[in-house]
Chains A and B, each alone.
Chain A
Amino acid sequence: MKPRFRQSMNWLHTWTGFIFGWMLYFIFVTGSVGYFENEIDRWMKPEMTIVNQVIDEQQVLKSAEYHLNILAADSPEWYISFPAARSPFIGISWLQLANSETNTPRAWQEKNLNPSDGSAVDVRETGGGRTLYRLHYNLHYVPKVVAYILTSVAAMLMLISLITGVIIHKKIFIEFFTFRSKKGLRAWLDIHNIFSVLPLPFHLMITYSGLLLLMGISMSTVIDTTYGEGRKNHNQFYKTAHLDIKERQFLELPPSELSLKSVLEDAGNRFKKQKLSYIGLKSRGTKGEHYDIWFDDFEGIKSVSSVEYRVKGQQVEIEVSRSKVGKAASVYEFFEHLHEGLFADIYLRWLYFISGLLGSGMIATGMVLWILKRQKNAGKPNKIKFVELIERINVGIIIGVPIAIAVYFWSNRLIPISQVTRDEWEVHSLFISLIACISFCLIRPKQNIWKEMLWLAASVYMLLPVLNMFTTEHTLISSIQKSDSLMLGFDLSMLFFGICFAISGITVNKKSTKGITTNNLVPSPN
């Protein structure tokens, strides 16, 4: 390869990585956390009653139907979820229609059912794991389309940085095994390489599939040329593009007897090996009323088929969805499943999470490298000031994002249960604390900010299980006794992350007393 070519690629790598670096870091961290959506959800809804015993599905259905009839008589959509590996709970949820008289907005409602007596349990209003993981593409405060386009642009730049990163690496595998510690810039570069090369397939997959997931927005002109502009026309496209191959059969069941009960019975007999995840009753009270069944099992990386029951003429029809009709649509689906990782068991899930964190680390070290190189070559005092500003904000974001996520968990316990739009305030606390972290880094003496931020992160994480102990009845010991592995796992993980931050804090402290802080990691010119 010509040296000039590699040089231009180096330049491209530096700048495509830098320009959206902070946003990419935020996307990577919140996205990685999203792999534990259900686990976080459990922690943020401490009222939920865990199901440890064998349950009678028909009995559960009966009490669920009883509550839904009282709470959601006029709702068009009902869902009843059964205990699954990642969420051992019984839940009912329904779509509450907007009502101008009582001033209630259109919203999803949910309640948890106690398995022992079938009573409905109130769950606190919380954004839960879902709001947290959605942050990585909806950015919360901006309109959806703007957020999708910004995320797409960031992902596009990420893809370019990854590919140029591979190009500029002459000896990608040899360099992977080199680590020259304590040599300033080189040490940071070696860490950057390790974070990038080891999980490179993951980085490429997650970035490309992320682009695909939003391509309906970012590349919408392609749809326009055939289907025309506008949401209605686009929906037409999505409908056709997502078409499944379907198998239809008729049941020997009189249409009048089609009910939640008979659907559950039939599904139990027909799919003996598969574990029921939830039943939905959709378009209630209209002509298109039908029942949906989803299973908690996966075939490879995709969930096993979903099943629909509906009345057709004088008979009951059952429709089983198989794979996608289109070839490209199947490839798309493959990437979608890989990105979401819903099929992953707990071990693979951790691998996903760690890969995501390595990606965040890659971005963070890349940003540090950008700063160090500019400090080394800075000449004018203006430029030195500017680089210092970037450096401070950088620390505020790198450690601030994890702190903000911990604050999100704190706010779940500390905001009064009766607070209106409680879930909104949880997200506000996340962003307020992120801004506070950045401001903190802007005003403190520069040599202390890494250390202080790390200690702050360590304390907010390590105190989370303690907070949980004081604000709910869940302690580490009670979680073990109730074999509530999700609650226990969350608390232990938080302790673990806190310890990791503490160790990093100690390391930075040791280095700074030896006189090699990150600021003077740049070798002196003489």
Chain B
Amino acid sequence: MTFFRNNAVSISILIRVLVALCGGFILANLVAILIAYLSVDNKVDGIVAGMMVSFFVYTAVVILVFSAKSALSASLYIASFCLVIFAVISYIDMVAT
């Protein structure tokens, strides 16, 4: 345990970087896919819009992850956002088929 205690700051930063990188990428993609799903009348345009918005999502995720109180709460935030959006996408998928 002393290893974790001695390197608490570095480990916290490492977790945040990983959450920002991977979580940000996943959430940005999920939001983009959701936007694409929501625009029923012109799906192609929805994809373009989704991709265009995704970069702001990514930026917001990174800012959130690094301003959160602890690395744990940052991961929880991002994970729950991902879950919610994933649930909505799955629901739309289910209704559509």
Closest Cβ of chain B to A258, distance in Å, is 33
Distance in angstroms from A339 CB to nearest chain B CB is 13
- A407→B27 CA distance, assembly (Å): 44
Closest to A152 in B: B55
Query: Which partner residue on chain B sits nearest A236 by CB separation?
Result: B44
Q: How far is the CA of A4 from the CA of B62 in the complex (A)?
A: 16
- Given known A156-B58, A160-B59, A222-B36, contact A12–B46 (CB-CB < 8 A): no
Is there an interface contact between A222 and B54, defined as CB atoms closer than 8 Å? yes
CA distance A163 to B59 in the complex (A): 8
A370 within 8 A of B: no
Interface of B is mostly: helix
Q: Is the CB of B32 within 8 A of A219?
A: yes
List CB contacts (< 8 Å) of B1-56 with chain A.
Answer: 28-29, 32-33, 36, 42-52, 54-55
Most chain A CB within 10 A, of B50, B51, B62, is at B51
Asked if A8 lies at the interface with its beta carbon under 8 angstroms from chain B, I say yes
Chain A: interface residue total (CB-CB under 8 A): 35
Task: Name the segment of A89-97, A120-128, A322-330, A482-490 touching the other chain.
Answer: A322-330
- Report if A240 contacts B (CB, 8 A): yes
Known: A237-B44, A241-B48, A331-B52. A221 touches B29 (CB 8 A): yes
Closest to A239 in B: B44
CB distance from A420 to the nearest CB of B (A): 42
Name which of B33, B47, B62 has the most chain A CB atoms within 10 A of its CB. Answer: B47
Interface centre among A4, A215, A219, A325 (most CB of B within 10 A): A219
Query: In the complex, what's the smallest C-beta–C-beta distance from B77 to chain A, in angstroms?
Result: 14
Q: Least Cβ distance of B25 to chain A in Å?
A: 9
Pair count A-B, CB < 8 A? 84
Determine if B33 and A222 form an interchain contact, defined as CB atoms under 8 angstroms apart.
yes
- Name B61's closest neighbour in chain A (CB-CB): A160
Q: Confirm or deny: A294 has a beta carbon within 8 angstroms of a beta carbon on chain B.
A: no
Residue A250, interface by CB 8 Å: no
Interface size on B, residues (CB 8 A): 24
| CB of B63 within 8 Å of the partner chain | yes
> How far, in angstroms, from A5 to B69 measured CA to CA in the complex?
9
Are B52 and A212 closer than 8 Å at their CB atoms? yes
Q: In the complex, what residues of B have CB within 8 A of residue A8's CB?
A: 66-67
Asked if B67 contacts A5 (CB within 8 A), the reply is yes
A9 to B55, CA, bound (A): 18
A219 to B47, CA, bound (A): 10
- Chain B residues in 8 Å Cβ range of A216: 51
Q: What residues on A are CB-neighbors of B46 within 8 Å? A: 328
Known: A208-B55, A240-B44, A328-B52. A225 touches B66 (CB 8 A): no
9 nearest A-B pairs in the assembled complex, by CB-CB distance: A326-B45, A328-B49, A328-B48, A222-B32, A215-B51, A240-B44, A219-B51, A328-B45, A8-B67
| Chain B interface (Cβ < 8 Å from any Cβ of A) | 28-29, 32-33, 36, 42-52, 54-55, 58-59, 62-63, 66-67
* A to B CB contacts below 8 Å, 29 in the list: A4-B67, A8-B66, A8-B67, A9-B66, A16-B62, A156-B59, A159-B55, A160-B59, A160-B62, A163-B63, A164-B63, A212-B52, A219-B32, A219-B54, A222-B29, A222-B54, A226-B47, A241-B47, A243-B44, A325-B45, A326-B45, A326-B48, A327-B45, A328-B49, A328-B52, A329-B44, A329-B45, A329-B48, A331-B49
